[in-house]
Structure 1
Amino acid sequence: MGTMHRAIVAMVAAVGLAASTAPAVATVPAPTGGCSTVYWGSLPKTSTAVGYSRLTDLRTGSHSCFDRLVLDLSGSTEGYSVRYVDQLTGIGSGLPVETIGGAQIEIRVDAPASWSLDVDPAVQRLYYHTFRQLVWLGSFEGQSKVGLSVRARLPMRVFTLDGPGDGSRLVIDVARNW
């Protein structure tokens, strides 16, 4: 056996001895609900897509790892901006809108509201883990604006889905934790 081979064997034996005498380290199991927010964040999410559709519905829901807002559109997903703001303001008027919660998210979509969109009351109290209020901020000059009052500035993700039919959906998820 050569000198180099003996040195490698000695190193492997030393590593094995160190590993066997090292204190046990507790492992933390991964969340069972798949609550990873690796690709989420609190920076603005935007799209400059161009098309024509109308905002037809707003829906909210609570899931095990996040709360969700869905904006239904009559056609393809339009341009949008989703961002944390210091103060929600009405579209057109620019007047501040008071909310409860630790942070506010402004959602603007380049689509006017459909005449059939029911936004009464303009401020809806939500008793979800993250969402506190859904606020209708108005529709003006081909754009609609919605506000979300949330518990704190938490990570979010924004994506679009096709359907149902010829429509599409803009989906905003806000995580329960960082």
Structure 2
Amino acid sequence: MNRPRRRQATALGVGALLTATLAFAAPASAATTTAATKAKATQTPLVVNARYGGHCTYDRVVIDLQGYVPGVTVTPVPNLVYDGSGKPVPLAGRYFLEVRLHPAAGHDDAGHNVYLGPKLVKINLSKLKGLALTGDYEGYVTFGAAFDTTPAYSSFTLHSPERFVLDIAHPNTC
């Protein structure tokens, strides 16, 4: 056996021995926690509600979840359509944002709806003029938001309970 292969074999052996030692040294609760964490992370998060409100310098949309906050994209789009059908969403506005969560579902494994929030609502806040659930399809949950003027927005996640937040800035109204 040449030297590089001997070193590689030695390194692999030492790594396997170290891994086995750490596995036996870890308390049983650590193994249970790891298994529970992996199981939770593989479950699809459920979108259970969407709500909105006006504040002095911003309007806010909050999407409530069970599980964890998945990947979220917020994209300006020229118009809103329902996922799957492609039919237009009947929200008045000149500017629109699409909020897409993946992986996510608005229904449980048995196909029962768990999403209890608004499906389509006209809103009269400073910036936000409408909100619609536009899709719950193949691991994606999508919302559309309507505005009369170009929205300046920021987003972030909050935990305990899990939620995604979209803030739309506007001049101070207080």
Give me the TM-score of the superposition, normalised by structure 1.
Answer: 0.65
* Matched residue count: 125
Asked if structure 2 preserves the Cα contact closer than 8 Å seen for 1:89 and 1:95, the reply is: yes
Contact kept, 8 Å, 2:51 with 2:117, in 1: the verdict is no
* TM-score when normalising by structure 2: 0.66
Matching residue's letter, 2:106: A
After superposition, give the CA deviation of every residue in 1:28-69 in whole Å (9 maximum; x if it has no partner).
xxxxxxxxxxxxxxxxxxxxx986311011010101001000
Which structure 2 residues correspond to residues 142-161 of structure 1 after superposition, within 5 A?
142-161=139-158
**Partner SS for 1:159:** strand
- Point out the structure with the larger helix share: 2
- Equivalent residue number for residue 175 of structure 1: 169
Spell out, residue by residue over 1:116-172, the C-alpha distance to the aligned partner (whole angstroms, 9 max, x if none). Answer: 32245x3211111111111121201111111100121121001011112xxx11100
Give the SS at the match of 2:165: strand
Give unpaired runs (5+ residues) of structure 2. Answer: 1-40, 108-112
Q: Deviations over 1:60-99 (max 9, x none)?
A: 0101001000001101110111111001111122222232
Distance 1:159 1:88 in 2: 22
Which has more radius of gyration?
1
Q: Distance in 1 between matches of 2:117 and 2:167?
A: 20
> Which structure 1 segments of 5+ residues have no match?
1-48
Name the structure 2 match of 1:113.
Answer: 106
Q: Are the aligned partners of 1:72 and 1:169 in contact in 2 as well (CA < 8 Å)?
A: yes
1:67 alignment partner, one of 59, 81, 84? 59
Asked whether the equivalents of residues 123 and 135 of structure 1 are also in contact (C-alpha less than 8 Å), the reply is: yes
SS at match of 1:89: coil
Alignment of 1:1-178 (within 5 A): 52-110=44-102, 111-114=104-107, 115-119=113-117, 122-164=119-161, 168-177=162-171
Calculate the aligned-residue CA RMSD, in Å. 1.9
> Percent identity over the alignment?
29
Relative to structure 1, the CA distance from residue 92 to residue 50 in structure 2 (aligned partners, 3 Å threshold; closer, same or farther) is: farther
